[in-house]
Chains A and B, each alone.
Chain A
Amino acid sequence: MFAYLIRRLFYAIPILIGVNVLTFALFFVVNSPDDMARMQLGAKRVSQEAIEKWKAERGYDKPLFWNENAKGLGKVTETIFFSKSVKMFVFDFGRADDGRDIAREIKNRMGPSLAIAVPVFVLGLFAAITTALLLVYFRATPLDFLGVAALVTMMSISSLFYIIGGQWLVAKVWRWAPISGYVEGISAAKFIILPVIISVLAGLGASARWYRTIFLEEITRDYVRTARAKGLPERLVLFRHVLRNALIPILTGAVVIIPSLFLGSLLIEAFFGIPGLGSYTIEAINAQDFAVVRAMVFIGSVLYIIGLILTDISYTLADPRIRLS
């Protein structure tokens, strides 16, 4: 197990190098730093000095790969590639346009983001599995049909409408929760509850339907017939046998959600004014803060790879037959 984990971490290295090279190409090769400066400084007729100053402030005034003017090792390190891309591996992202250290900002914003994402993930999984099991219990009845129709309709509604509608109805009309904002500590709950419920609802349609198909596939298996034959009530068959055996596809599906969790929280955080990574990204996009967006791409893929490894570990917990080696 331990050896497996070490090997998985080594596999992650070439992928992160790939991500790094890709973002480097995207940000520094497709466009020159001069273009970026001109875009951000706005005016078409911006002076060359202003551009040079902008580049010097951000360290974009160095050559891309090879610095002829530096001495010794500096030929490699005094370049954009080294200072902007290689340093990402030690989570040194440099400074944002407002002068703050990006790494520290990310660390501070991790908390609020997790405060939203973890409950959404857990509650969402719970709600979806419960709904799916209920529909499977009532399969081939009008209730099942209505349920599936409702789920398909729910997944056809843009998440924007869930957020806008929910915020308007719950926070503005009924005044049950604050419209937006965030505080640290335990009183964060009242700010978190509405965004969490909305995220869970927005994701319910697609995931519950997906789990329903998994369960339906599972109940055609022989062990289910055996369980029924020995007189187990359907309720127990579903909860004791089908649910446990469906855990592997459920876990695989859960990983697929992780990136969309990020997208979801991006919108949710922006709408509800939660100072997490999602709203940080949106602010950076709107302010065209290239350094922050680059850092978020890297962090995002690190998180994704961690998620993948966690899933592999959870496989062994769900199914003892699986040995990681």
Chain B
Amino acid sequence: MKPVLLVSDALFFMLLAALAFGAAYVRRTPHLAAGWRAVGKSSAAMASLTLLTMFLVIAVLDSLHYRERLPGPQAHYAPEVRSALDALLAPLRLRQEKTYSAPLALHSFAKETSPDGHARDFPRLRHGGSHLGDDLDRHMPDVLARGVRGAALGLILWGCLWGALALLARRAPNLAWPAVRTTLLVVALCGGVIYELAQGYHVFGTDKVGQDVLYLTLKSIRTALLIGTLTTLIMLPAAVVLGLAAGYFGGWIDDLIQYLYTTLNSIPGVLLIAAAVLMMQVAIEAHPQWFATAAERADARMVMLCAILGLTSWTGLCRLLRGEALKLRELDFVAAARALGLPATSILLRHILPNVMHIVMIAIVMDFSALVLAEAVLSYVGIGVDPHTISFGTMINAARLELAREPVVWWSLAAAFVFMLTLVLAANLLADAVREAFDPRREQPA
């Protein structure tokens, strides 16, 4: 086994480090800490944070990449790059059927001519429900039994998790812990049931080439989280530096930066993205020597997509920060710092930046959900992630034509819908709570 660090992995871990650093910074800064305490008192925000943490764990597992060692005396490694999540989900990944099958089904979705060449019938699945043998009547009782077992497992899991968290809860008693407890219970129950059922069936069915939809959905989470967070990570420095510089220095610097973002802003985002992605495709095609493996190429494409999305989305934050810096520049403490002869860079760093942190934080959480949604749309249009990267967009794209079938193949879409809705809804609720806690304009509730 040889560990592989893809570019997106490296950036993702950098992001996690930045997150940890940011958390430490917030703890040291009283007004930010107070804001987050207010967030913690909101049930919706705590439930969302719990869910997002679950998604984050999956994404982290899916970011630990490695290449398998091939059998043989020499150290040869498999060309495919796998992740820790792939290893955990190996049973799901390997139990591939021929084509579509409905959730929990025993039979394939498409008719096939039987081997003896007589009747066209729905063939049994190779893996789904194969433990039942020919005893098809046991299907429903077996599903139910597994469901009950799964629920029991979920309860035990929940007990352990909550037991550990309860210790933490005692240290910060006025946060909305009941919401966390309930969310954990729901997640543990669903997880337990799905886990038990997935041992014998395809819980969410299989797709056109027979891949397990549950596996695809879990793999999509990393793509969604990565696009939602890396984009912000990439655009943040530019937005902060340019926005603060424009507002603080004024004059021709302000004019130049304003011109820059007005110009970028006047191009409808999707068109700029389309043009940039097309050109990126040309560049990738023209330089195949840049990438050792297909995974590296798909990964580079995703990181570039984040950079391109960042290019179109930094203007909003930049404008907000410019306005704020314009206001702060005139305040007494900044004037005092200037009078003491502090250089401009340290005034910006020590006196202006801490006072705009809440705007930056609001922007980060607000952008996240929009970016997750944008990824799906862009992948549909054909300017998103690599077609071989598993993402919600590529899943929807593959499933969309099948609605024309009779009966309808609905499970891929349904699975993508449920997971995307959960992720984006959680992000939106958290964003609301964060904005409510930090936006100074909305201090007095109406």
Q: Is the CB of B403 within 8 A of A300?
A: no
Nearest to B281 among chain A residues (CB) is A39
- The 8 Å CB contact of B268, one of A168, A293, A294, A301, is A301
- Smallest CB–CB gap between A191 and chain B, Å? 18
- The 8 Å CB contact of B279, one of A19, A30, A217, A266, is A30
Nearest to B260 among chain A residues (CB) is A18
Q: Is the CB of A259 within 8 A of B269?
A: yes
Interface string of B390-420 (1 = CB under 8 A from A): 0010001000100110001000010001001
Q: Is the CB of B373 within 8 A of A159?
A: yes
Q: Is the CB of A164 within 8 A of B271?
A: no
- The 8 Å CB contact of A304, one of B268, B285, B382, B413, is B268
Interface string of A280-299 (1 = CB under 8 A from B): 01100110101001101100
For residue A286, which residues in chain B have a CB less than 8 angstroms away from its CB? 382
Cβ of A103 < 8 Å from any Cβ of B? no
- B residues 319-370 touching A (CB-CB < 8 Å): 369
- Tell me the bound Cα distance from A164 to B413 in angstroms: 9
Cβ of B424 < 8 Å from any Cβ of A? yes
Q: Is the CB of A301 within 8 A of B275?
A: no
Q: Is the CB of A152 within 8 A of B278?
A: no
Q: Is the CB of A304 within 8 A of B267?
A: yes
- Smallest CB–CB gap between B388 and chain A, Å? 17
- The 8 Å CB contact of B421, one of A156, A172, A300, is A156
Q: Is the CB of A35 within 8 A of B282?
A: yes
Q: Is the CB of B373 within 8 A of A158?
A: yes
Q: Is the CB of A263 within 8 A of B270?
A: yes
For residue B424, which residues in chain A have a CB less than 8 angstroms away from its CB? 156-158
What are 26 A-B contacts with C-beta separation under 8 Å? A18-B260, A22-B263, A22-B264, A23-B275, A26-B279, A27-B279, A30-B279, A31-B286, A35-B282, A35-B286, A36-B282, A155-B428, A156-B369, A157-B417, A157-B420, A158-B424, A168-B408, A216-B446, A262-B271, A263-B268, A263-B270, A263-B377, A282-B381, A288-B278, A293-B275, A304-B266
- Other than the known A39-B281, A267-B380, what 19 A-B pairs have Cβ atoms closer than 8 Å? A23-B275, A31-B279, A31-B286, A35-B285, A152-B425, A156-B421, A158-B373, A158-B376, A158-B424, A159-B373, A160-B396, A161-B417, A164-B403, A262-B268, A263-B268, A263-B377, A270-B381, A293-B271, A303-B268
Binding site for B on A (CB under 8 A): 14-15, 18-19, 22-23, 26-27, 30-31, 35-36, 38-39, 139, 152-153, 155-161, 164, 168, 172, 216-217, 219-220, 259, 262-263, 266-267, 270, 281-282, 285-286, 288, 290, 293-294, 296-297, 300-301, 303-305
